[in-house]
Amino acid sequence: MASLDNAQIRSGTYRSTLGRLALAQKPGRGAPPYSRWVNRRVGRWLAAAAYLARLTPNQVTMLSALTTLAALVLVAAVPPSWWLGPLVAFLLLLAYALDAADGQLARLTGGGSKAGEWLDHVVDAAKIGLMHTAVLVSFSAYSGERELGILLVPVGFMVVSFVFFFGMILTEQLKRAAAAEAGERYVKPSGGGGTLQTLVAIPTDYAVLCLSFVLLGAHELFLLVYLILFVAQGLVLLAVLVRWWLQLRGIDRDGLR
């Protein structure tokens, strides 16, 4: 039946494919604002186009990776200017939408694969490291920054982002393992915090960081926004680390509820 549905979509219209995708969305409660209200919708548009073009989810993942790489090469290799920042921000947001599209495409075609999930996470990890490395290169090579404290900001941001990413992935995997040991089915939380959690998540929204690159040509302003995002994400990280630790301690003590 699934193959029949797929064949119908292949031969159908872009609009009908969008309709099928709308039924295959993840819950949005608690997700950061841009991710929840913009990126998933743009990703749906791209996923529909990719499906009709017979692209696989892994191919869309690699398109996202290459688009991100192109943007970050520009940051590291081209002196900041008024036109560079908007171009970099556009490419990063396009890559982010493609990152949303690969998962939606996988769900439309009957679910993702372990290899595809691995590829998606590896690309995300590489993206974190390359982005803040490119900012460090830009600061040092083109903006004349020599003060150690400023040059350490991208390094610190990279550490915070890696810990956030790794902690989120590991916490979920440990919960899955606990559910398997208890013979229960693990259901990933849908967010649960509603609008309040959505607003609190703004500093962690990858799109906000992407949008900050619009200011790349105005170094002092970009540095200020970049620093604010770094501090804010660091504070959110401290809060969620405590939350994750308490959740896992609760599982150790009482098991899954």
Per-residue pLDDT in tens (0 to 9) along the chain, 257 residues: 343 354 444 545 877 777 777 665 665 555 677 887 899 889 989 999 999 899 999 999 999 999 999 999 999 999 999 999 999 999 999 999 999 999 899 888 876 789 999 999 999 999 999 999 999 999 999 988 889 999 999 999 999 999 999 999 999 999 989 988 888 876 666 545 556 666 777 888 999 999 999 999 999 999 999 999 999 999 999 999 999 999 999 998 877 66
How far is the first Cα of the chain from the last one, in angstroms, to the nearest whole number? 35
DSSP state of 53: T
Q: Tokens 């493609």 map to which residue?
A: 98
CA–CA distances in Å: residue 134 to residues 3, 204, 226:
44, 19, 13
Q: What is the pLDDT of residue 131?
A: 98
Q: What is the pLDDT of residue 32?
A: 77
Q: What is the pLDDT of residue 196?
A: 64
Q: How far is it, in rounded angstroms, from Cα 124 to Cα 162?
A: 10
CB contact set of 66 (below 8 Å; sequence gap of 6+): none
Q: What is the pLDDT of residue 201?
A: 75
Q: How far is it, in rounded angstroms, from Cα 45 to Cα 63?
A: 15
Q: What is the pLDDT of residue 101?
A: 94
Classified as helix, coil or strand, 142 is coil
Helices (H) and strands (E) in the chain, counts: 11, 0
Give the CATH H-level superfamily of domain 2-254: CDP-alcohol phosphotransferase transmembrane (TM) domain (1.20.120.1760)
pTM of the model: 0.87
| Element (DSSP H or E) covering residue 36 | none
Q: How far is it, in rounded angstroms, from Cα 108 to Cα 105?
A: 5
User: Amino acid identity, residue 242?
Assistant: V
Domain segments of the chain as ranges: 2-254
For residue 133, give the nearest of 116, 110, 157, 111 by alpha carbon.
Answer: 157
CB contact set of 141 (below 8 Å; sequence gap of 6+): 76
